[in-house]
A and B are shown apart, each in its own frame.
Chain A
Amino acid sequence: MSALAVLNGRAEGQLRYKKPPILEAVLEFRWSEPRPLEALVSVLRAQAFDEFEESNPRMQIDAAVSLDEPKLSHSTKQLGFEASLRDGSQIVFLEQQKFVFVQRAPYDRLVSFSADDMSALHEVTSQLAVDEFSRVGLRYVNRIDIPLGGNSKINTDDYVTIKFDGPRKDRGIIEEFQMRVVKPTEKEGIHYALVVATTASPLTDHSAILLDIDMFTRPPVPAARDQLDRVLKQMRTEKNEIFQECLTDKARDLFGGLDE
């Protein structure tokens, strides 16, 4: 199973749209003990990463201000590396404590992560001797572009089932809407962070709603293939249900119909 197969996998009965609103899909695997940077370099030289451009370091710059003797100090730390395909469609981040695979829009199932299924994650776990993930994340950032049709406002109730139910009935409109909720699912050990917000659309005469569904595990997950597969499948099913339950039919109508 490739990272892309995980992201693209269709649960039974799941709908697939011609123009899915997915801006990016992210698979993330974290572990507890940091691995040395040299070991990460070795992983990225593996055949599984052949199609990726040469990797670049990922740096973290911290700045601190001392109040006693006013001065600004900086420290720089290398977290790991990142590499992307030449067409920019996929990015991998390999850091000392995590491996992240990102599929950017367009999101379709016609592309392949690599020639060998599962090879990239297998390289990470075998070369870095990771036998357990402290956290597995499966995240979809959706942006629903909504035509304004000559208006300057949209009614979010027409498109998403999440509403603001405040204590007062003031005049006028809500000018911004940003919500983030973190909650366990009914599946043991699987939680999610849901973000719904208004956002700008890159299209003229459109507004947009951001719908970000971030599924993640709380207890550690074994890196063994079959156990990991089972957890990822559960996460994907939960994610699909949450996505559908957040949408109205009017929102679905914006996705170009179903892909047969």
Chain B
Amino acid sequence: MTYIDTTGFPREPLVPGRAHHAINRFFGLLGQVGGAANVESSATPASPQITEFEENLRLLQETISEVSMHLPTGFARGLNRQFANLLDDEAWEDEDEFISLHSLTAFIMVLVSASPARRPGIGTNGKGSITASWTRGVNRLTVECLPSGRLNVMMSRQVDGDEPERAAFTSIRPSRLPEIVQPFGPEIWFDG
């Protein structure tokens, strides 16, 4: 039996679109001379000249792409389009901070743990967070994914035509979201 530990390989992230470069570099360092991909290793230092906006967008899109197989069909492509629109440099204020990777990680954990069938609307507060919202009439769920990796959650939920009930939670762990929203009947927000 072959048992392995969970040590990471290669020594750099396997970024989709450039994963083959990372693998080539790793095995290129071993000095191999045969085969196919190692021939590329001489060209792998190549990197495009891109702006800060493009860099941030690329990072977000690559991270979403990396977990896309665990998201509902169509989510990753749609989210990557949404982020491309959100990071339009013409709409960006000078003082706005780029979206934090920790916020994105929290956002992805929300999607993976809550498994919504509907893609959320997204926004940012200019301080590195991601705001995800699911709205159906007066029923609204807003999840602010913070650079700390935690969530602020605000809910508005109408039952039997009554005045909507409102609730808010601060600084919760992303994996706890399904548990938090469960008593409020989350299907109104999440179901397709």
Show the binding face of A for B, using Cβ within 8 Å: 18-24, 26, 56-62, 79, 81-82, 84, 86-89, 91, 95, 102, 104-108, 110-111, 135, 137, 139, 141, 143, 145, 148, 152-157, 163-164, 173-178, 180, 182, 191-193, 195, 197-200, 202-204, 207, 210, 212, 214, 216
Contacts and interface: CB of A to CB of B under 8 A. Distances in A.
B31 interface: no
Nearest to A162: B2
B34 to A, nearest CB: 5
A93 to B, nearest CB: 8
Contact of A105 (B27, B42, B66): B66
B67 interface: yes
B23 interface: yes
A106, A199, A210 pick with most chain B CB within 10 angstroms: A106
Contact of A197 (B9, B16, B81): B9
B109 A204 contact: yes
B4 to A, nearest CB: 5
Contacts of B16: 23-24, 104-105, 141
Contacts of A156: 2-4
Nearest to B46: A58
Given A87-B77, A87-B80, A155-B3, A102 B17 contact: yes
A156 B69 CA distance: 21
Given A104-B65, A199-B9, A204-B109, A153 B4 contact: yes
A173 B3 CA distance: 5
A21 B69 CA distance: 7
Interface in B49-100: 49-50, 57-58, 61-63, 65-71, 73-74, 76-77, 80-81, 84
Contacts of B46: 58-60, 79
Contacts, number: 187
7 contacts: A24-B17, A56-B48, A60-B45, A102-B17, A155-B4, A182-B36, A198-B5
Given A60-B43, A87-B61, A95-B43, A212 B23 contact: yes
B27 A195 contact: yes
Contact of A89 (B2, B19, B63, B80): B80
- Max chain A Cβ within 10 angstroms of own Cβ: one of B4, B14, B63: B4
B45 to A, nearest CB: 5
B27 A180 contact: yes
* Chain A interface main SS type: strand
Nearest to B27: A180
Contacts of A104: 16-17, 62, 65
Contacts of B50: 56
Nearest to A97: B43
A61 B45 contact: yes
B2 A177 contact: yes
B122 to A, nearest CB: 14
Contact of A91 (B17, B57, B67): B17
B9 A176 contact: yes
A173 B5 CA distance: 7
Given A104-B65, A199-B14, A24 B19 contact: yes
Contacts of A82: 48
A88 B36 contact: no
B6 interface: yes
Interface string B139-175: 0000000000000000000000000000000000001
The 9 closest A-B pairs by CB, nearest first: A56-B48, A88-B61, A182-B35, A200-B8, A106-B68, A216-B36, A173-B3, A58-B46, A87-B80
B10 interface: yes
Contacts of A23: 14, 16, 19, 66
A180 B9 CA distance: 13
Nearest to A215: B36
Contacts of B80: 87-89
Contacts of A195: 23, 27
B67 A202 contact: yes
> In the complex, which of the residues B62, B65, B74, B109 has the most CB atoms of chain A within 10 Å of its own CB atom?
B65
B84 A58 contact: no
Nearest to B47: A59
Contacts of A22: 69
